[in-house]
């Protein structure tokens, strides 16, 4: 596994997916000015699904002294959401003083399963295929790391004498690295099988999505899954550290669907990106994980006891 001096294929796929389907706002370095931004004591966000009347809340981390800056256009949009939900919007002076909840109306994952995810409407169907493809890309990357770790673990489990481990040069991180790479490279069956399965799975997805995309208009609207644990920018134009709120760890894994406009060019770009095709690429892409060094060191320590 050589050192990586290029963008990982998986990282690139992730950013192109975000560019096509999630907000792609430029980052700006500046402190918000009062003319365009309003400071809000933002504490959490609440998701509402009108289909099942389901609601759930995600707490934000308490960064920037608990104040997040909203662009005035976002405040106006949020006032409409409050109205739609029949809630009283706080007075201007209260925004910075009283805990504020950001409300989001969309479709919960359970309701989405019933119609959105099985929709045959072409624009939605294209998105659904891309979302599935995105999940397969992520899954492949996760499996590669797991199976490489498993290979190392299996090798370590087979060692019962410290003298066996001592025959290798364990004196530097470099030599440990070389040893670990050699161990992983001699047991790649699980990774190869996962790669084959990945390729067999994504091929028909890409084929079908491309076929539908050919007939599609340049832009359309579809319901897009958003991860509730991703940071939210409360600025409509540019985002910067003062407008971004980070959900706390408890929110991981939840998805919520919101309507978004989708551009054909961007979808096409996502579908035609280079994906992992060879074992060499998978191993390079997974990279080297420092915890592997700890596994070997811990094993050495436990044998000496």
Taking contact as CB under 5 A, which single stretch among the options 102-110, 131-139, 226-234, 252-260 is the one that binds Zn ion?
Answer: 102-110
Taking contact as CB under 5 A, which single stretch among the options 24-32, 45-53, 62-70, 286-294 is the one that binds Zn ion?
Answer: 45-53
Tell whether the torsion through CA atoms of 206, 203, 108 and 229 is positive or negative: negative
Nearer residue to Zn ion within complex by CB, 42 or 225: 225
Q: How many CB atoms lie within 10 A of CB 41?
A: 17
4 binds Zn ion (CB under 5 A): no
129 binds Zn ion (CB under 5 A): no
Q: For residue 258, which phi and psi values (nearest 5 degrees)?
A: -135, 150
Residues that contact Zn ion, how many (by CB under 5 A): 6
Nearer residue to Zn ion within complex by CB, 115 or 169: 115
Closest approach, Cβ 222 to Zn ion, in A, equals 17
d(CA 98, CA 115): 38
105 binds Zn ion (CB under 5 A): no
Nearer residue to Zn ion within complex by CB, 52 or 85: 52
Nearer residue to Zn ion within complex by CB, 107 or 129: 107
d(CA 200, CA 211): 18
Q: Is 255 helix (H, G, I), strand (E, B) or coil?
A: strand
Q: For residue 262, which phi and psi values (nearest 5 degrees)?
A: -120, 140
112 binds Zn ion (CB under 5 A): no
Exposure string of 156-173, with b = 16+ CB inside 10 Å and e = fewer, is: beeeeeeeebeeeeeeee
148 binds Zn ion (CB under 5 A): no
Nearer residue to Zn ion within complex by CB, 54 or 66: 54
Nearer residue to Zn ion within complex by CB, 133 or 225: 225
- Which one among 9, 108, 179, 209 touches Zn ion, defined by CB under 5 A? 108
The answer to whether 55 and 265 have CB atoms below 8 angstroms apart is: no
225 binds Zn ion (CB under 5 A): no
Nearer residue to Zn ion within complex by CB, 61 or 113: 113
The closest of 89, 103, 10, 112 to 55, measured between CA atoms, is: 103
Closest approach, Cβ 56 to Zn ion, in A, equals 10
300 binds Zn ion (CB under 5 A): no
For residue 136, CA distances in Å to 2, 139, 144, 203, 250 come to 25, 5, 12, 11, 24
Binding mask 47-86 for Zn ion (x = CB under 5 A): --x-xx-x--------------------------------
Nearer residue to Zn ion within complex by CB, 50 or 204: 50
Taking contact as CB under 5 A, which single stretch among the options 15-23, 44-52, 56-64, 237-245 is the one that binds Zn ion?
Answer: 44-52
Q: Is 289 helix (H, G, I), strand (E, B) or coil?
A: coil
DSSP per residue, 208-246: HHHHHHHTS-SEEEEEEEEETTS-EE--SS-B-TTTEEP
36 binds Zn ion (CB under 5 A): no
Applying CB under 5 A, the residues found at the interface with Zn ion are 49, 51-52, 54, 108, 111
């Amino acid at each position: 596994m050589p050192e990586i001096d290029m963008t990982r294929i998986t990282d690139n796929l992730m950013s192109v997916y975000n560019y096509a389907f999630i907000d792609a706002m430029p980052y700006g370095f500046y402190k918000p000015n009062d003319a365009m931004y309003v400071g809000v004591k933002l504490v959490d966000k609440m998701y509402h699904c009108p289909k099942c009347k389901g609601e759930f809340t995600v707490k934000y981390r308490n960064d920037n002294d608990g104040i997040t800056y909203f662009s005035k256009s976002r405040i106006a949009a949020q006032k409409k959401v409050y109205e739609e939900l029949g809630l009283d919007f706080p007075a201007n002076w209260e925004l910075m003083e009283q805990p504020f909840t950001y409300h989001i109306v969309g479709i919960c994952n359970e309701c989405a399963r019933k119609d959105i995810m099985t929709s045959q409407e072409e624009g939605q169907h294209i998105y659904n295929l891309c979302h599935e493809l995105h999940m397969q890309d992520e899954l492949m990357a996760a499996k590669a790391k797991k199976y490489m770790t498993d290979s190392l673990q299996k090798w370590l489990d087979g060692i019962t004498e410290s003298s066996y481990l001592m025959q290798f040069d364990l004196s530097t991180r470099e030599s440990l690295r070389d040893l670990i790479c050699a161990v992983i490279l001699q047991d790649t069956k699980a990774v190869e099988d996962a790669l084959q399965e990945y390729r067999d799975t994504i091929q028909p997805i890409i084929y079908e999505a491309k076929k539908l995309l050919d007939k599609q208009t340049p832009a359309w609207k579809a319901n897009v899954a958003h991860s509730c644990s991703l940071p939210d920018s409360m600025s409509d134009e540019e985002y910067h550290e003062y407008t971004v709120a980070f959900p706390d760890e408890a929110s991981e894994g939840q998805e919520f669907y919101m309507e978004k406009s989708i551009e054909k060019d961007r979808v096409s770009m996502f579908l035609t990106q280079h994906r992992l095709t060879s074992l060499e690429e998978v191993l390079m892409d997974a990279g080297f994980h420092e915890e592997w060094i700890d596994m070997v060191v811990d094993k050495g320590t436990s044998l000496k006891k």
